[in-house]
């Protein structure tokens, strides 16, 4: 970047936009990411992330959230994570976390 009149251009910081909490109205307002980790030797664990799209809030995992597993297969671990994700969405629709 070239200097103007021997001075550096001034850096302008724009304020970030804070998004107020907004409860979801339907299951379409949430994203559930379900997967697994582990191995046959140590067991398979479900991994889960649930995000409310209306405000970007991460609903799961949270501090102190239970571990999903161990399970005997990868498919069972993913199914358990999906079931837990659906439960988190249903609970948030009934009682929104703001």
Phi, psi of 47 (to 5 degrees): -115, 140
Q: Which residues pair with 31 in a beta bridge?
A: 51
DSSP state, 52? Answer: E
Confidence of residue 97 (pLDDT cuts 50, 70, 90): confident
**Is residue 88 scored above 90 in pLDDT?**
yes
DSSP state, 10? Answer: P
Q: What is the pLDDT of residue 13?
A: 59
As a whole number, the mean pLDDT across the chain is: 87
Q: Please tell me the total number of residues recorded for the chain in this structure.
A: 98
């Amino acid at each position: 970047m070239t200097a103007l009149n021997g001075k550096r251009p001034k850096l302008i910081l724009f304020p970030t936009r804070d998004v107020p909490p907004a409860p979801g109205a339907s299951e379409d307002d949430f994203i559930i990411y379900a997967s697994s980790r582990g191995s046959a030797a140590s067991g398979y664990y479900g991994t889960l992330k649930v995000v409310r799209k209306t405000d970007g809030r991460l609903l799961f995992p949270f501090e102190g959230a239970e571990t999903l597993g161990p399970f005997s297969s990868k498919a069972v671990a993913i199914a358990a994570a999906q079931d837990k994700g659906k439960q988190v969405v249903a609970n948030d629709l009934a009682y929104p976390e703001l």
